[in-house]
Amino acid sequence: MCASHCLLAQDPENQELVRFYMHTMKTIGQRLVLKLAPSIKRNICKTCSSLLVPGVTSTVRHRQRRRHMVVTCLFCRNQKRFLSNDDYKLWCERPEADVQQSDRRGPEQSQSREKGQETLAAQESTRALSSCGGSNLMCASSSQSM
């Protein structure tokens, strides 16, 4: 997306190349099943894949009565409407969206994870004993019997 901004800043006539870059970015994201950030989605036209730069490739109007902002693409005349409420936050910006990794798992999965950690700790202690040859155990047991 940075390359597209740079191209438009150098020469606003490079809009075909910018559209190609944006279309390529969208198709790669779809193939890899990646979600674009909302800030990136707001700057790309859905129909013609052009970069929406106010004053260059789009116009922005603020509607006071309906409390929203209208962004119009200058190529395809497609319109996007965004709520202009000061208190509104996107879902990804809300605190509820940050879910801890342990909260995503069910109780059965978290219990099996704890059991797996206990088994791993037991295996590591067995390895530590076998690496020293068990001589420390024999010495400790023989000193106790004396």
Contact 101, 84 (CB under 8 A): no
Query: Roughly what angle, to the nearest 10 degrees, separates helices 2-10 and 15-31?
Result: 180
Q: What is the dihedral of CA 42, 43, 48, 53, to 10 degrees?
A: 140
The pLDDT tens digits for 79-122 are 999 887 777 777 777 888 877 544 555 555 545 555 555 555 55
Low-confidence winner among 10-24, 33-47, 54-68, 119-133 (lowest mean pLDDT): 119-133
Farthest CA pair distance, the chain: 94
pLDDT, position 118: 58
Cα–Cα distance, 22 to 44 (Å, whole number): 7
CA distances 94 to 39, 89, 98, 127, 139, Å, are: 15, 7, 8, 46, 60
The pLDDT tens digits for 27-44 are 999 999 998 888 888 899
Q: Could you give phi then psi for residue 53, rounded to 5 degrees? A: -110, 120
